[in-house]
Structures are given as structure tokens and as C-alpha cells.
């Protein structure tokens, strides 16, 4: 059953962005279906997934969009950003370059999205602690400077995945409801 027979009060579109292979698809799979696929590309071509949740006694349908690989060709289009009220900027904490690219992604996002969009910076793969290449403080500093929420996650171990989606959706609700 799931979503049927539910009166939906709000639908919120949230987009995932960031370099290829940082774990966007797996974060979404973990949040929407509580799955993690080691062979990740099963979901290629899927545009978005939904999950319905209750915040403040309201039924909220989160529509979370995944780039489905478009970012590899620098071809994330303006249609992708259209109507988004939230964005998750994901880097891989074991790949410094994916963090260094966050400024570029943020610029692209701000160029396309609504000015009230809620943005969360996410350092994924925190299960790989011994391979960390991005200190938490660097990310915190960037997030503070750019006025972003920030969290470290592991889609593999489920760490903070539910929390980060709930945090951004609650803030989106606060702003848009
Ligand atoms: P995307 O290109 O950003 O959508 O990245 P994917 O979700 O396809 O993940 C890229 C690779 O990283 C895959 O091999 C995943 O299994 C792996 N991966 C994703 N999230 C995690 C995580 O939290 N921890 C670890 N160790 N690996 C992850």
C-alpha cells in the first residue's frame, strides 16, 4: 500500500548534486527504500523517487531527484533544478577533489534555483574513516560561510541518512508551509 489513501498536504522537490561516484544514488536508495546496492548503476535513468513522511502532523511527499549520471557529461539541465525547494550538495569525504568542486556546484545551483532554496552540504562515505581526505572543520567552515546545513553520512552503514533528509525537509516545511 504505502502512499495510497493518504491525503498529501505538500510535495517538496529536492535535488541531489555533486560529482559522479560520491554516493548520490545510494543515499537516495537508502532513504527511499532502505537499500544499498554494491553494484550501483541499477538505478541509472531513474529521475526521482518519492517518500511520504509526516512532519508537524502534515503529510509531506518528498520527491528526491537524482542526476542519473548526467553530471558526468556536465549536462545537468535547468529542468533538473526547476521547482526545487531543497538541494543536497554531496561530496565523497575520501576524495578531496569532490569537495573542492562544491563551490562550482553551489554556483551552478544558485544560478538556476529559487533564491529561497534550502541547501545541505553532505560529506558521504564516513564509514571509510581511515581514508578521510576532507577534515570535518573544512566542510563546516565552507558550510558556515555559504549558509548551508552540513552533515556527514554513510549510505552504506545508514549513518545520518534519515537525519539529513529529515533535517532538510523540516526546514523546507518551515519556509514553505
Ligand atoms: P553517484 O554517482 O554519486 O550516484 O554515486 P553512487 O551512489 O553510484 O556510488 C558510487 C560508489 O560509491 C558505488 O560503488 C557505491 O557502492 C559507493 N558508495 C556510495 N555510498 C557509499 C558509502 O556511504 N560508503 C561507501 N563505502 N561506499 C559508498
Tell me, in angstroms, the distance from the centre of ligand 1 to residue 34's CA.
14
Question: How far apart are the two ends of the chain, measured CA to CA in Å?
Answer: 27
**What's the pTM?**
0.92
Closest by CA to 28, choosing from 51, 57, 60, is: 51
Whether the pLDDT of residue 40 is over 80: the answer is no
Mean pLDDT for 94-119 is 95
Percentage above 70 pLDDT, the chain = 87
User: Is 20's C-beta closer than 6 angstroms to any atom of ligand 1?
Assistant: yes
Contact status, residue 164 vs residue 120, Cβ threshold 8 Å? yes
User: Is 13's C-beta closer than 6 angstroms to any atom of ligand 1?
Assistant: no
Report pLDDT for 77: 78
More confident residue, 40 or 49: 49
| Residue to probe by mutation, ligand 1, list 40, 47, 66, most atoms within 8 Å of CB | 40
> How far apart are the C-alpha atoms of 54 and 105, rounded to whole Å?
30
Cβ-Cβ contacts under 8 Å for 174 (sequence gap 6 or more): none
Mean pLDDT for 56-63 is 94
Residue 144 pairs with which residues in a beta bridge?
Answer: none
More confident residue, 34 or 123: 123
Strand, coil or helix: 140: helix
**How sure is the predictor about 2, in pLDDT bands with cuts at 50, 70 and 90?**
low
User: Is 158's C-beta closer than 6 angstroms to any atom of ligand 1?
Assistant: no
More confident residue, 108 or 3: 108
Report pLDDT for 36: 80
Tell me, in angstroms, the distance from the centre of ligand 1 to residue 136's CA.
19
Contact status, residue 165 vs residue 62, Cβ threshold 8 Å? yes
Whether the pLDDT of residue 24 is over 60: the answer is yes
**How sure is the predictor about 120, in pLDDT bands with cuts at 50, 70 and 90?**
very high
Mean pLDDT for 70-82 is 76
Rounded to the nearest 10 degrees, the angle between the axes of helix 102-112 and helix 136-146 is 20
Report pLDDT for 33: 83
Contact status, residue 53 vs residue 4, Cβ threshold 8 Å? no
Integer Rg of the chain from CA: 15
User: Is 67's C-beta closer than 6 angstroms to any atom of ligand 1?
Assistant: no
Amino acid at each position: 500500500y504505502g502512499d495510497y489513501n493518504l491525503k498529501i498536504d505538500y510535495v517538496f522537490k529536492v535535488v541531489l548534486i555533486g560529482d559522479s561516484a560520491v554516493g548520490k544514488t545510494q543515499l537516495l536508495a537508502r532513504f527511499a527504500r532502505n537499500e544499498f546496492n554494491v553494484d550501483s548503476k541499477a538505478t541509472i535513468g531513474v529521475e526521482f523517487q518519492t517518500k511520504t513522511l509526516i512532519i508537524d502532523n502534515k503529510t509531506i511527499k518528498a520527491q528526491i531527484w537524482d542526476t542519473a549520471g548526467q553530471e558526468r557529461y556536465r549536462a545537468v539541465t535547468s529542468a533538473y533544478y526547476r521547482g526545487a525547494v531543497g538541494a543536497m550538495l554531496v561530496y565523497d569525504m575520501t576524495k578531496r577533489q569532490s569537495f573542492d568542486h562544491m563551490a562550482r556546484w553551489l554556483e551552478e545551483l544558485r544560478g538556476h534555483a529559487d533564491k529561497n532554496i534550502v541547501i545541505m552540504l553532505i560529506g558521504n562515505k564516513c564509514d571509510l574513516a581511515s581514508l578521510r581526505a576532507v577534515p570535518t572543520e573544512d566542510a563546516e567552515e565552507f558550510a558556515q560561510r555559504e549558509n548551508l546545513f552540513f552533515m556527514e553520512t554513510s549510505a552504506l552503514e545508514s549513518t545520518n541518512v534519515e537525519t539529513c533528509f529529515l533535517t532538510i525537509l523540516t526546514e523546507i516545511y518551515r519556509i514553505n508551509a
